[in-house]
């Protein structure tokens, strides 16, 4: 398969037509071979406009999600970035040359209590979450930003947030299909 042609087609038919037209986003999406981040048996459909199952039981989101994340993040060379990675490594690779540094952790590590915590100016979550748990919020420096999927029932939206006065709130932006990260589900409780 001609992956460069598929990559160009993904940019023209998925990203541009959905309003993702920032030059730096299109350049990164063109430069990173998505087929290297999916299982070998899925390489032929790496640029499909749907999530693709990974070998670890999770899914890599559709390309549009990553384009929108980069566009909303507006990364700078001063940013220190934490990527909560669902297992593909694709998002970290996309943002790497745009920022000062990138660290990646798993969803389990993002919600686990930890004494040692580095502070980041930008946190990117590769999936949809119901809320920003305290342990992840503590990793966002004052004034730092977060871009993630936000899950509300079966609806997922791209969302952005900023840490201010010790808390983080997410503002939903656009409804889009995003694989859910169950580690970020709120505890189930009964209410009136």
Q: Which of 3.40.50.12780, 3.30.1330.10, 3.40.50.150, 3.40.30.10 is the CATH number of 3-184?
A: 3.40.50.150
Q: Which of 157, 150, 153 is nearest to 174 (CA)?
A: 157
pLDDT at 84: 97
Tell me if the pTM is above 0.85: yes
Q: Dig out the tokens for 162 from the structure.
A: 């900023």
> Would you state the structure tokens that stand for residue 129, as one six-digit string?
């979450």
Are residues 108 and 86 in contact, defined by beta-carbon separation less than 8 angstroms?
no
Q: Where are the domains of the chain?
A: 3-184
Q: What is d(CA 138, CA 150) in angstroms, rounded to the nearest whole number?
A: 18
List per-residue pLDDT tens for the chain, 192 residues long.
599 999 999 999 999 999 999 999 999 999 999 999 999 999 999 999 999 999 999 999 999 999 999 999 999 999 999 999 999 999 999 999 999 999 999 999 999 987 777 899 999 999 999 999 999 999 999 999 999 999 998 999 999 999 988 789 899 999 999 999 999 988 777 766
Residue 55 sits at the vertex; the CA angle it makes with 54 and 59, to the nearest 5 degrees, is 20
Structure tokens at 139: 């990793």
CA 87 to chain centre: 11
CA distance linking residue 131 with residue 151, whole number of Å: 8
Nearest C-alpha neighbor of 81 from the set 59, 103, 112: 103
Beta strand ranges found along 39-139 (DSSP E): 52-53, 59-60, 80-84, 101-105, 120-129
């Amino acid at each position: 398969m001609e992956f460069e042609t598929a990559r160009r087609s993904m940019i023209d038919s998925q990203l541009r037509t959905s309003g993702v037209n920032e030059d730096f986003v299109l350049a990164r999406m063109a430069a990173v071979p998505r087929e290297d981040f999916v299982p070998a048996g899925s390489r032929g459909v790496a640029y499909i406009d749907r999530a693709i199952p990974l070998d670890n039981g999770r899914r890599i989101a559709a390309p549009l999600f990553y384009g929108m994340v980069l566009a909303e993040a507006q990364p700078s060379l001063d940013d220190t970035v934490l990527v909560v990675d669902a297992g593909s490594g694709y998002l970290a690779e996309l943002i790497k040359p745009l920022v000062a540094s990138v660290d990646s952790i798993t969803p389990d590590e993002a919600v686990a209590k930890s004494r040692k915590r580095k502070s980041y100016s930008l946190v990117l979550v590769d999936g949809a979450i119901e809320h920003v748990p305290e342990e992840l919020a503590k990793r966002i420096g004052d004034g730092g930003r977060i871009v993630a999927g936000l899950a509300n029932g079966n609806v997922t939206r791209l969302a952005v947030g900023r840490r201010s006065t010790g808390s983080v709130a997410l503002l939903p932006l656009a409804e889009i299909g995003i694989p859910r990260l169950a580690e970020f589900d709120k505890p189930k409780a009964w209410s009136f």
